[in-house]
Structure 1
Amino acid sequence: MQTVRSHAVHTSRTRLVGSRPALRRRRRSAGATYIILLALAVVFAGPFFWLLLAALKTRGEWVAVPTKILPAEPQWSNFTHAFTDINFPAYAMNSLFLATTYAVLITLSSAVVGFGFARLQAPGKRVMFLVLLSTMMLPQVLTILPTYVLFSRIGLVNTYWPWVLWGLAASPFLVFLFRQFFAAIPRELEDAAIIDGCGWGRIFVRIFLPLSRPVLVTAFLLSFTWNWGDYIAPALLLDADHTTLSVAITAWYQDPHGNPLPTVQAAAAALYVLPVMLIFLFAQRYFIRGVVGSGVKG
């Protein structure tokens, strides 16, 4: 009995000694991974912190020594001027209304189209899907002039209807995202619903939409960010009273002589970026789930 116990102790000690090098290798690998992630975090967060530091400088520091990192005395009043020199709340509400409306509509329309490509059968479906994906390679700059001419001729310039129409038209990338996610859902679920007498519309609303919450949040975040940060479309299609915050920040922070105020613009840009960062901070779990889940099945 004592021999058996000694052999067991010896075996456990051997395993422990043998596992120590592997444990040290795993720790070194984890440490290297954390260092790389920390370096990437600094690289990606660097521009935002540079923007905050620029917002705390005086105009003289910005013009005379633009390479100086830290301000001599933080100018918190730049944020006050950013909020009061223009009608900041009104332009922010315009941006919020357009971004939310566009994001909701394009998320739902893309989900419907993605569901059709993933679960329905029709002649030429594969070819149509390839054509849809090919439109992602079309540069947006090529469609600016035709878009303006089209909306001008039908009387939609200086209105918010173009964003509604864009939202109803779906997005090729989001359609691809939804199609990949819906294609990974087991077919037994819809077969059982069809046996119970459900149509495709009810199957989509009652089964697929509840299961696709992560990808719905992902699509909403992506489309909201696209529209929130868009400058070209509001500058082209909207007048000064209906335009968005992105246009107002770039155009209307000036001194009495008409010269731009870069530090106030930096403060306004920091306030402009903050809502998107907060939304992503609270919804990043669903965002990651949606991206990972959409790559399960090709």
Structure 2
Amino acid sequence: MTLRLTGRVLTYGVLAGFSLLFLLPIGWLFVTALKTGADLASFPVTWWPADPQWGNFTKALDYVPFAGYLRNSVTVSVIFATLATLTSALVGYGLARIKGAGRSALFKFMLGTILINSLVTMLPTFIMFSRAGLVNTYIPWVVWGLAAPTYLAFMFRQFFAALPAELEEAAVIDGCSRVGIFWRIALPLAKPALATAFILSFVGTWGDFIAPLLFLDSDTTTLAVAVVNGYVDPQGGTLNNLMSAGALLYTAPVILLFAVTQKLIMQGVATSGLK
């Protein structure tokens, strides 16, 4: 009993230590957001400002068109997440349930593409979209969503492969087509995986900086780019306190989303066989 209690104390102690380690950057952002310009320039470093500037959060919303960039981020993230979730589910179902020549080789080739860093293909992709006149539009995110991201297709493949074959056999006897089986049986059973795929896609697009910086102009870009490039003074210097406040406001929706859907995400990962 004593050993078990000691083990629990050590486990929770290690977890608490790692949690504090991961929370340090957010804590530093929060403290910086409450400082004045004089606090930031002071030496030695002021760990907590004598007069916290809570109004910096309001200033961060007004200094850049925060609401407009927020709308752009939501639009891009929802477009990509919706399309990527549906197409990945379709590809994963095909790889898991439809037998055919070359299926195994195709699956292995698809997994091999995970090793290719997206930065390697970013420049050729930009040139392709630029020549097609699709830069400064959200069409690239539509195309990427329709392409079915490999990691999501693999997750759905693992989920659908675990479904009992009797469900499909019963549906075939009732005269249901392959498309009908996918829409009426497979997808309703895959709700945890669908939710997990949508959330991961949404968060990934929300946090992307490189693609919006390359493909979108200053009016259509996302909040990630605006937070990094928007908080500057007339002389071109960075307003670190407003940038920190804007960064906290930018990350707050994602943190809230994960806090609310944590159990759903874990359920989706567990039922998909991803450990």
- TM class by shorter chain equals over 0.9
From the superposition, tell whether residues 161 and 118 of structure 1 become closer, same or farther in structure 2 (CA, over 3 Å). same
Matches of 1:247 and 1:91 in 2, distance apart? 9
Matches of 2:190 and 2:178 in 1, distance apart? 16
Matches of 1:107 and 1:63 in 2, distance apart? 47
Instruction: Please state if 1:238 is matched with 2:208.
Output: no
Where does residue 100 of structure 2 map in the other structure?
Answer: 122
Where does residue 88 of structure 1 map in the other structure?
Answer: 66
Matches of 2:207 and 2:44 in 1, distance apart? 25
Q: Deviations over 1:96-146 (max 9, x none)?
A: 110011101101110100000111101111111111111111111111110
2:9 to 5, 19, 31: 31
Matches of 1:189 and 1:69 in 2, distance apart? 61
Where does residue 189 of structure 1 map in the other structure?
Answer: 167
Where does residue 61 of structure 1 map in the other structure?
Answer: 39
Deviation at residue 151 of structure 1 after TM alignment: 0.3
Matches of 1:174 and 1:65 in 2, distance apart? 49
Where does residue 12 of structure 1 map in the other structure?
Answer: none
Counterpart AA for 1:111: A
Matches of 2:2 and 2:249 in 1, distance apart? 45
Q: Deviations over 1:202-228 (max 9, x none)?
A: 111111111111111111111111100
Matches of 2:200 and 2:124 in 1, distance apart? 25
Deviation at residue 35 of structure 1 after TM alignment: 1.3
Deviation at residue 161 of structure 1 after TM alignment: 0.7
Where does residue 138 of structure 1 map in the other structure?
Answer: 116
Matches of 2:34 and 2:213 in 1, distance apart? 28
Query: Matched residue of 1:198: which SS?
Result: coil
Query: Matched residue of 1:286: which SS?
Result: helix
Q: Percent identical across equivalent pairs?
A: 47
From the superposition, tell whether residues 296 and 74 of structure 1 become closer, same or farther in structure 2 (CA, over 3 Å). closer
Matches of 2:31 and 2:195 in 1, distance apart? 32
Where does residue 77 of structure 2 map in the other structure?
Answer: 99
- Judge conservation of contact 1:184–1:296 (CA < 8 Å) in 2: no
- Judge conservation of contact 2:34–2:49 (CA < 8 Å) in 1: yes
From the superposition, tell whether residues 66 and 211 of structure 1 become closer, same or farther in structure 2 (CA, over 3 Å). farther
1:223 to 187, 196, 201: 201
Deviation at residue 59 of structure 1 after TM alignment: 2.1
Deviation at residue 67 of structure 1 after TM alignment: 4.7
Where does residue 155 of structure 1 map in the other structure?
Answer: 133
Matches of 1:187 and 1:24 in 2, distance apart? 48
Deviation at residue 61 of structure 1 after TM alignment: 2.2
Long gaps (5+) in structure 1: 1-22
Deviation at residue 66 of structure 1 after TM alignment: 7.7
Matches of 1:224 and 1:93 in 2, distance apart? 14
Counterpart AA for 1:170: A
RMSD: 1.5
Q: Deviations over 1:183-211 (max 9, x none)?
A: 11111111111111111111111111111
- Judge conservation of contact 2:155–2:274 (CA < 8 Å) in 1: no
Deviation at residue 235 of structure 1 after TM alignment: 0.8
62-71 vs 237-246, greater mean Cα deviation? 62-71
- Judge conservation of contact 1:181–1:296 (CA < 8 Å) in 2: no
Long gaps (5+) in structure 2: none
Instruction: Please state if 1:79 is matched with 2:79.
Output: no
Q: Deviations over 1:22-80 (max 9, x none)?
A: x2222222222211221121122221122111111122222334854322221112111
Deviation at residue 277 of structure 1 after TM alignment: 0.8
Deviation at residue 296 of structure 1 after TM alignment: 7.1
Query: Matched residue of 1:257: which SS?
Result: coil
Instruction: Please state if 1:268 is matched with 2:249.
Output: no
Where does residue 157 of structure 2 map in the other structure?
Answer: 179
Query: Matched residue of 2:176: which SS?
Result: coil
Matches of 1:277 and 1:66 in 2, distance apart? 32
Per the normalisation by structure 2, the TM-score is 0.96
